[in-house]
Amino acid sequence: MSEERLQKLLARAGLASRRGSEKFLREGRVTVNGAVAALGDKADPARDAIKVDGRMLKLPAGNRYLLLNKPRGYLVTRSDPEGRPTVFDLLPAKTSRGLFPVGRLDFHSEGLLLLTDDGDLAQRIAHPRHGCTKLYKVRVRGRPDRASLDRLRKGILIDRRRTAPAKVRLLRGRANEDNAWLEVELGEGRSRQIREMFFRIGHPVKRLRRIGIGSLSDPRLPPGGVREVTPREVERLRQGGGPARHRSGGGRR
């Protein structure tokens, strides 16, 4: 193995988040080969004796990958000062140790969320330069016309920054005078981006569901359901590429 930052190793061992692990280091509770470690120090767990509060650090045998179908009404965070439910409340404590969510879904949004302890894969999925797009089903108030959708396809200003071009498709058979269902594919993931995009063209989002993360999709995973991501799926995510589309309904439940 190669050297890694200690806060990353502590997080992977499930002791705390990376930010919490930094606190361990600032408090002098971590040693490497008998010497007190500092924030920013690196170590190789294969050859270095890493201890926290005098106890040897134990790392999982390999990286873990879970796919969660996030329901509405959950925060994508480890804990919330206001006591609101988080996605980690849906997992057994032992299962979630060391895992962190890749990307965002806001409190009222739902759909697929990847949780892992693999920082390299997380970076590959989250950063636009790697080309891992995300696919969403979106219900909006009213029915956007072609000109409005073309604005989204070309990019729209949000906080004085133009969004990257998006793929937007009106779904046939899912529109009426009151609302429309659309499929949206994004290559970036700014905070509340889809909600802001449709708000600016006068069609606020009523429901938002992520149905694909790169090549990863699972229309049979129920809300609140979680499963292991297969090695083949992980390898396809590493290779990048566009979303895996499926024919699950976008609407009526």
Contacts of 197 (CB under 8 A, 6+ apart): 152, 156, 158, 163, 166
Encoded tokens for 168: 């937007």
- The residues carrying an active-site annotation are 106
Encoded tokens for 67: 């796919």
Secondary-structure breakdown of the chain: helix, strand, coil percentages, each rounded to the nearest 5: 25, 30, 45
C-beta separation of 229 from 218 below 8 A: no
Q: How far apart are CA 137 and CA 163, in angstroms?
A: 19
**Residue 212, strand partner residues:** 135
Contacts of 7 (CB under 8 A, 6+ apart): 18, 21, 22, 24, 25, 39
